[in-house]
Amino acid sequence: MRYAIFSDIHSNLDAFESVLAAYEKERIDKYLCVGDIVGYGANPRECIKIVQDRNIPTVAGNHDWASTARFNIDYFKPYAKEAILWTREKIDNKDTEYLNNLDIVYKESDFCLVHGTLLNPEYFDYIFDLEDAMDSFKVMSVCICFVGHTHVPGVFIKENEKFSYVRDNVIDIEPKKQYIINVGSVGQPRDGDSRGCFCIYDSKERAVWIKRIEYNIGIAQKKIEDAGLPLFLSRRLSLGH
């Protein structure tokens, strides 16, 4: 099976459409989303519709649940809070019901998906470093856990009691190792690369690829500005942070 695994669309329809077009060339068997369909960007309903129309299994992100008031908005910075409140006004009851009912963890035989961490996933904590990763490795029962949330792609690796971190774009999945793989962000990368980020996992080849795609950032920025959302959310798209 070849899996398309992506995260943190954040209502950026232009980036999302470019990523989906790139996936069309990759012989994908199944699509999976690691959360945060909405938040920050100007097209929440359109992004939700694509995920729903394609029946893409999706785990809840903190912005998804905050947009339905299931997660406390006080945890967010002012510009993020403003975007959440704006999103609540734009989505309809069916969108709200869909986001509110997203599961917090998704599992297949050899991998799982969670937006933040496997330890208390409903808190949406971040995995920034090896110490953070260790908490999830302790409760991890599969070979690979795909995460998002930080918007920075990277791979934490556990081999026996040794832990490491790499920023490789191609990862060979080796026996007797466990991996926590951050798939980066489709709609708001924060690693200094403004291109949309997405991931492919081939369970037969036992390999993972982190890829990037150009999209029309200017259009996405104009939509944010025209919507009256914070200008910071527009400017950061071209900076990739």
Residue type, 192: G
Q: Domain tally for the chain?
A: 1
Q: Is 212 exposed, middle or buried (0-12, 13-18, 19+ CB in 10 A)?
A: middle
Tens of pLDDT along 99-131? Answer: 999 999 999 999 999 999 999 999 999 999 999
204: how many CB neighbours lie within 10 A of its CB? 7
pLDDT of 141 higher than 90? yes
Q: Which two tokens stand for residue 175?
A: 């026996």
pLDDT of 22 higher than 90? yes
Q: What is the pTM of this model?
A: 0.97
Residue numbers of the domain that contains 64:
2-239
Q: Provide the CATH number for the domain around residue 129.
A: 3.60.21.10
